Amino acid sequence: DYLKIFSPATVANVSCGFDSMGFAVDAIGDEMTFTKTAEKGVKITNITGADLTYDVDKNAASAVVKKILLDAKANFGIELTIHKGFSPGSGLGSSAASAAGAAFGVNQFLENKYSELELTKFAMFGEEVACGTPIADNVAAAIYGGFVLVRSYEPLDIIKLPVPEKLRVVAIHPQIEVKTKDAREVLPKEIPLKDAITQWANVGGLVSGLYTNNYELISNSLVDLVAEPARKSLIPFFDEVKESAIKAGALGAGISGSGPTIYALCKGDEIAEKVHSAINETYKNTGIEFEIFISKVN
Ligand code: HSE
């Protein structure tokens, strides 16, 4: 009647795949506990690591638990604790980790009644509660693990993609907050056909590179003409970080989700360490606090 889970941080978009690609990291995430109660409904008893609401209808995690318990006509309730391992507004899918963790956790008390696709739909509701838009890229990556493609939103179709064994991510989180809502307001409403062609061609290239373990193709495909040009001005020293990561051997770099975290994909631990040092060097004199981590894609 008690469950403790880890729900991962996620990198959405992965440059070319705006709102349609994402991957999970195993180095950072949230810890959540679930306790079954005789009394129906959901209650949050403790939140640590971030200042989030205990209002069950406004908190992404409890809103999802509530929705699932109602849908399943459960005759029990859940008490929830949330320990945030990383901050909201980081671009690493903070609300998604809470929403996906909530959906996964409560499903364990329902004998796994719901499929991963159904859990993703419930978790998207949590995203809507947290940031106004039911985006699937982060939540799907957290629920399915590894790399995912949101092939369609209506009807929802999630494709789990393979992860080449040596793939590593280095991510730097400048300690400023960028709200997803604000980062979506700066996006272009229309894109030139020429740019659209480049974008979808690179999505194809990235997917193909993941299936064939072709790191060069992955590298060539980490291109974003849609969100990155519009958003990078929200992220101090974005160009400098990207340039130093690539110079140090990264396959490519870009904005993680809606930022401000900048991610770099690398082949192998050794290059990941070099990219880590290079980014660290670049950022340490900026006067902005930051955190860097290296992780497997998992
Ligand atoms: N794909 C989303 C965005 C990620 O870039 O706005 C945040 O959920």
- pLDDT for residue 180: 87
Determine which of 71-75, 142-146, 179-183 has the lowest per-residue pLDDT on average.
179-183
- pLDDT for residue 131: 86
Cβ within 8 Å of residue 18, ≥6 positions away: 199, 224, 226, 227
110 CA to middle of ligand 1, Å? Answer: 30
Q: Is 180 a catalytic residue?
A: yes
Residue nearest to atom 6 of ligand 1 (CA): 258
> For residue 295, which of 122, 123, 169 has the smallest C-alpha distance?
169
Residue 206 has pLDDT above 90, yes or no: yes
Q: Which atom of ligand 1 is nearest to the CA of 18?
A: 1
Whether 19 is in the pocket of ligand 1, judged by its Cβ within 6 Å, is: yes
* Other beta carbons less than 10 A from residue 210's beta carbon: 24
Q: Which atom of ligand 1 is nearest to the CA of 227?
A: 5
The answer to whether the CB of 158 falls within 8 A of the CB of 144 is: yes
Query: Could you give the CA distance from residue 150 to residue 289 in angstroms, rounded to a whole number?
Result: 33
pLDDT by residue (tens digit) across 79-92?
A: 999 999 998 889 99
Query: Could you give the CA distance from residue 95 to residue 101 in angstroms, rounded to a whole number?
Result: 10
The token duo for 284 is 């340490």
CB neighbour burial string for 64-73, b if at least 16 within 10 angstroms, e if fewer: bbbbbbeebe
Whether 135 is in the pocket of ligand 1, judged by its Cβ within 6 Å, is: yes
> Pairing mode, if any, of strands 147-152 and 77-83?
unpaired
Residue 94 has pLDDT above 90, yes or no: yes
